Amino acid sequence: MENALEQYDPQIYELVRQEIARESASIRLIPSENYVSRAVMMASGSCLTNKYAEGYPNKRYYEGQQVTDLIERLAQDRAKQLFKADHANVQPYSGSVANLAAYTALIEPGDTIMGLSLPHGGHLTHGWKVSITSKLFKSVQYTVNPDTGRLDYNRIEEAAKKHRPKIIISGATAYPREIDFEIFGRIAKDVGAYHVSDIAHIAGLVVAGIHKSPVPYADIVSTTTHKTLRGPRGGMLLCKAEHAEKVDRAVFPGLQGGPHMHTLTAIAVAMAEADTPEFIAYAKQIVKNAKALAEKLLEYGFDLVSGGTDNHLILIDLRNKNIPGKKLAKALDRARIVSNYNTTPADPLHPANPSGLRIGTPAITTRGMKEPEVKLIARFINRVAENIDNESVIEEIGKEALLLCSHFPVPDHFIIPNKKNSL
């Protein structure tokens, strides 16, 4: 049967085909990217995209919800089981919406929130000045220690006592070390604040038991459902039972209308996939790969923020190489190695052309690459940096990267036998 997209819109079909080829022929090192399973992709593209389901199971504003109610309950139950949480809301369209919903569930506009500064590894929605979160709420920021690149919990506690925020946000988007959520919970309790934890990047490591879970120590846990969790592009909130009603009201009708049922269906599939021994092995390999990549980059003389990594990502400070982050990211892209330029703590350069480069291992690990391959990738990165203005060398590295990719095809699907999750 002729492909319907090819028949109806050959231009978009060709662009999609090109993207498939690009993702297959590139070493994808952006920490927030991954490859979903065929099952997740099928759910994302299913007939559930046709259905409006405004409201919650048994409390909808449209009829015809016999199936959607079952799907949403399944997604909720699987998420609660996976994260050991009292309540799960799987409707947020994204992690950013989930964060805003968490804040509005707990405090009022004009109240103070305290999160990690964006240049020090925080997210825009942790109260950074260009985000709506800093306009709705008074925002104060804590930072990492510029000498160590690590969180200084004593300084965070001092800042909390000084500013007395109503919410303290733990979590990051460019922090390569494990976060002590228990300390954050204690600090928040001591100053009478709520603790909201954003685990968008490390959710897959949390469910695999590699990173300590914030669920016991946070009032609300926010996450995306992709990245290390390897699901569709969506968001999710987990919370204690006492906050369940407020969280649900904050998402709908507070910030959203009808949930995207096709995404919600794919989230249910991803939760089942994550509740398997195979996923735990995958998550462990993510960290092994990141550590091996970091060690090799250090051997090549790269300066890594905090000196290494405990999770899935690495933040490189390129000032000792005298190469702007954007320039290296563009050169690597021409060599089929995809990364993103990023600010570093106390970065003297503008965020549009910062000193750092952020890389991670979730996507290459999904393809089956292990320590030998990541050491080769580190060699590619070093060669590009050493030949940053030599296009012939960059082209040659691109050919070698393509050859490496050919040995690790993008998985068409993931076989998950004997699922223990029967919900």
To the query of whether residue 86 is one of the catalytic residues in this protein, the response is: no
385: closest CA among 331, 338, 334, 343?
331
The answer to whether 267 touches 232, Cβ cutoff 8 Å, is yes
Q: Are 321 and 344 part of one and the same domain?
A: yes
Question: Which one is catalytic: 68, 125, 157, 198?
Answer: 198
Q: Is the bond preceding residue 253 a cis peptide, omega within 30 degrees?
A: yes
The answer for residues whose C-beta is within 8 angstroms of residue 315's C-beta and 6 or more apart is 121, 149, 174, 175, 176, 304, 305, 306, 342, 344, 356, 357, 358
Residue among 132, 121, 274, 107 nearest 196 (CA): 107
Q: In this predicted structure, what is the pLDDT of residue 324?
A: 95
CB of 265 closer than 8 Å to CB of 275 = no
pTM score: 0.94
3-state secondary structure at position 189 = helix
**Alpha-carbon distance 57 to 63, whole Å?**
11
Check residue 3 and give its pLDDT: 85
Are 232 and 320 members of one domain?
no
Q: Is the pLDDT of residue 417 over 60?
A: no
Same domain flag for 243 and 287: no
How confident is the model at residue 411, as a pLDDT?
Answer: 85
Are both 269 and 347 inside the same structural domain?
A: no
Same domain membership, residue 385 and residue 398: yes
Beta strands in 39-158 (DSSP E): 55-56, 59-60, 87-89, 112-116, 138-142
What's the mean pLDDT when you consider all of the chain?
Answer: 95
In a domain, 417, yes or no: no
Same domain, 58 and 132: yes
- Stretch (H or E) spanning 27: strand 27-28
Residue 8 lies in a domain: no
- pLDDT, tens digit, for every residue of 311-356? 999 999 999 999 999 999 999 999 999 999 999 998 898 989 999 9
Q: List the domain range (segments joined by +) for residue 401.
A: 26-36+277-406
Sign of the four-CA dihedral 141, 142, 144, 150: negative
Q: Which residue has the tokens 């879970």?
A: 213
Please identify which of the residues 133, 224, 343, 361 carries the catalytic annotation: 224
Q: Are 234 and 227 in contact (CB under 8 A)?
A: no
229 and 317 housed in the same domain: no
Instruction: Point out the catalytic residue in the list 33, 54, 77, 180.
Output: 54
Choosing from 255, 274, 293, the residue where a domain stops is 274
Q: Nearest 5°: phi and psi at 235?
A: -135, 165
156-195 per-residue burial string, b: 16 or more CB within 10 A, e: under 16 = bbebbeebebbbbbbbbbbbbbbbebebbbebbeebebbb
Asked if residue 411 belongs to a domain, the reply is no
Is residue 54 part of the annotated active site? The answer reads yes
CA–CA separation, 229 and 411 (whole Å):
16
Tokens 């691109």 sit on residue: 398
* Annotated catalytic residue within 13, 33, 52, 371: 52
Does the residue 191 lie in any domain? yes
When pLDDT is averaged across residues 2-17 and rounded to a whole number, the result is 90
**pLDDT (0 to 100) of residue 346:** 84
Instruction: Answer with the one of 225, 252, 274 that is the final residue of a domain.
Output: 274
Stretch 205-221: mean pLDDT, rounded?
A: 97
Q: How far apart are CA 215 and CA 11, in angstroms?
A: 46
Beta carbons of 68 and 55 less than 8 angstroms apart? no
User: Where does 210-343 show beta strands of DSSP type E?
Assistant: 220-224, 235-239, 303-304, 313-317, 337-338, 340-342
**Which residue, 215, 248, 274, sits at the end of a domain?**
274
Pair 297, 249 in one domain: no
The predicted structure's pLDDT at residue 423: 38
Residue 71 CA to residue 78 CA, distance in Å, equals 11
Answer yes or no: 224 catalytic.
Answer: yes
Q: Are 69 and 378 in contact (CB under 8 A)?
A: no
- Residue 56, classed as helix, strand or coil, is strand
* 52 among known catalytic residues: yes
Query: Which CATH number do you get for residue 45?
Result: 3.40.640.10
Name the DSSP class of 233: S
Residue 194 sits in the same domain as residue 259 = yes
Does residue 205 sit in the same domain as residue 299?
no
12 within domain boundaries:
no
- pLDDT confidence tier of residue 413, bands split at 50, 70 and 90: low
Does residue 336 have an active-site annotation? Answer: no
Q: Catalytic: which of 17, 60, 138, 233?
A: 233
What integer pLDDT is reported at residue 393 of this predicted model?
A: 98
What's the mean pLDDT in 67-92? 98
Burial (0-12, 13-18, 19+ Cβ within 10 Å), 73: middle
Number of domains into which the chain is organized: 2
Q: What is the mean pLDDT of residues 243-270?
A: 98
Helices (H), 132-276: 132-136, 153-163, 181-190, 203-207, 244-249, 261-274
- Asked, for residue 356, whether it belongs to a domain, the answer is yes
Whether 125 and 241 map to the same domain: the answer is yes
Burial of residue 389, with CB atoms counted within 10 A of its CB: 0-12 exposed, 13-18 middle, 19 or more buried: exposed
Active site residue 367: no
Pair 142, 270 in one domain? yes
Q: Which of 51, 80, 177, 227 is catalytic?
A: 227
CATH code, domain with 353: 3.90.1150.10
For residue range 399-408, list pLDDT tens digits in order.
Answer: 999 999 999 9
Domain assignment present for 220: yes
In a domain, 10, yes or no: no
* Neighbour tally for 391: CB within 10 Å: 12
Give phi and psi for 270, each to the nearest 5: -65, -35
